[in-house]
Structure formats: structure tokens, C-alpha cells
Amino acid sequence: MEIIFDIKGSTGIIILNRPRALNALNLSMAEQLTKKLKEWEKDNKIKRVLLRGEGNHFCAGGDVKSVHLSGEHSKLKRDFFSKEYALNLQIKKFPKPYLSIWRGVVMGGGVGLSIYGDYRVATEMTKFAMPETSIGFFPDVGGSFFLSKLQNNIGKYIGLTSEVINSRDLLNFGLATHYCPENKLDDFIDNYISDGVVGNYKTSISSLFSDEKLDFINKNFSGNIHEIFNNIVFSKDPYSILNKLKNKCPMSLAVTAILIENSKNKTLQECLESEYSLSQKMTARRDFGEGIEAVLIKKHHNPQWEPMTIKEIDKNELENLFISNIDNELVL
């Protein structure tokens, strides 16, 4: 079973159960989760929900490898993203306490399953990232919503660089709500299951973002990708940020910068609907397949992007990616 549902007392428990795939979310899991949450929403015996991953990791994201392997015009591309995004909005609207254990890898689609719930509990092992620019895609599952709401351009930095964020910084940025050390996790979960108590501990993990670095990000990550690159170069790049960006897909970087910049005043529903149209266009581009092959299948991490640099980006192609058409519309 790829996803396990259980009930203990008045707590509904969901376990993502694909540990060999780091619990990556596929279409079947999204459909099952959608159905179960609808059922539990109406069940007065269920007072709260707990979501966790089997093994040492929460969820490495959506199963984009299967989406790529299904072919350019496959129904899976439409069904997976439409149902995943609908599930994201369903979780946002879920009326009962919803807690996720952010243990180990928490990335992409896994963020979408948890970020809209009431509680996100990080541990010293948490590795959070939105890594989509590495595979010719963009931070979806509402990434344009929650990243654009972070202060001081830190959301744009996370979305562009795919940098892994630790528990201390997740708490500082407001992405995680609570912290629990690994050796207290069983007790933490038991207390939540038994009476809904959400414990909280202090973390000794150090921040990877000094005040100076945060100030640098705030000053230099405004505007489009060309402006951001120029800002970093002009400032002599004291934090080696260009090195983090060098293997990222140029078109993904351009799309992500625009998407986050333009979503600051949008609702989650509006963001997800825009992202769906964009998802269908981005997965049809050669870069998506190139990124999946380079990072997830062959794992040589040397993708040959088209174009290879941001200077070569076709302005008309970039603008057309944001023009919706009836074939790529999603109404949530």
C-alpha cells in the first residue's frame, strides 16, 4: 500500500508509504488522500489529522519521473497536476487540526501536502527545499503563493536557488510552526494523537542565514531574473549565489522570478490555477525531460538546457508561457 490510513482514538493518521522513493506522491496517492480527507471532514469522530512519511523521510515531492516517462501528450500530465493542486487547496480549507511531521526530506509536492495545514513540525534532520528549477520546472503546489508571502525576498531566493533549509531557518521564516528533536518525536506524536496537544521544543540548530546575508538577499532579489543576476554580479557575489544558480534551468529561473513577483497579492486558489496552466506548458518543453533525465534518472547532473544561459532566453517564448488557453485551464 502506497498510502496507509488509520484511526487512533479521534485522530486520523496518514502515512505516505513509498520509502524507497522517499515517499514521492503519485496520482493514486493524491486521489486516495483527497477521498479520505473528504470522508474525515464529515466524520464527527475524527477531531484531528496527523500526516507523516514512512521511514526517515517525509516526502521528496511529486512523482515527476512518472509524469515525464508517461510521454509528452499523456493524460497523466493533466490528471496528476490538476488533482495534486486541487488537493493542496482542499488541505488549506480542511476545517480540523492538520499536523505534518517534517522529518528528513521535505520537498516540492511534499511541501504542498503539509504547508497549508495548521502545524508543520521540523526536527534536526529536516531538509526542506523547492528544487524545481533544477529539473526545468518551477516551484508549484502553490509555491508562488507561500514563497511570495515570505518577507524580504527570501521566498524568491528559496525558489530560485533550490537551497536546502534547516529547521532553525524554517522556524525563523515561518515555514515550520514547531520543532521537536528526533528523540522526543514518539512522545510528541503520542500526545497529539491522544489529546491534540502540540508540544514545542527549542532547537540548538544554527541558522545558515546571517543578518548580513538576509539583508543581501532582500536588496538583490527584487525584479526579474536579469535584474537579480546583474545585482549579484555588481555586488561581487559575497555568498557565492551565482554558483548555486549555474546548473539551474535558465527558463525555469526566469519563470520563477516572474511568478513569485506577480503572486504577492493573489489567493492560493488563484496561484494554483495559474500554476496549472504553466505546468502544462513547462512539462511540454524539452528542458523538463532533460532535467528529469539528468537529475532523477541518469543522475549525471549535467543537463543541456535550451537555452543554456539567461541572456539567450527568448522574450516572446517567456511571455507566452504565462498566457493561458482553454486547453490548459483549471478551475478549482
Residue numbers annotated as active site: 62, 109, 132, 140
Q: Which three cell numbers stand for residue 13?
A: 493518521
> Are 113 and 107 in contact, with CB atoms under 8 Å apart?
no
Query: Taking the CB of residue 235, how many other CB atoms lie within 10 A of it?
Result: 13
| Residues whose CB is less than 8 angstroms from the CB of residue 286 and which lie 6 or more positions away in sequence, other chains included | 306
CA-CA distance, 275 to 281, in Å (whole number)? 10
Q: 99 pairs with which residues across the strands?
A: 50, 119
CA-CA distance, 127 to 106, in Å (whole number)? 6
65: left (phi over 0), alpha (psi -120 to 50) or beta: alpha
CA-CA distance, 257 to 25, in Å (whole number)? 26
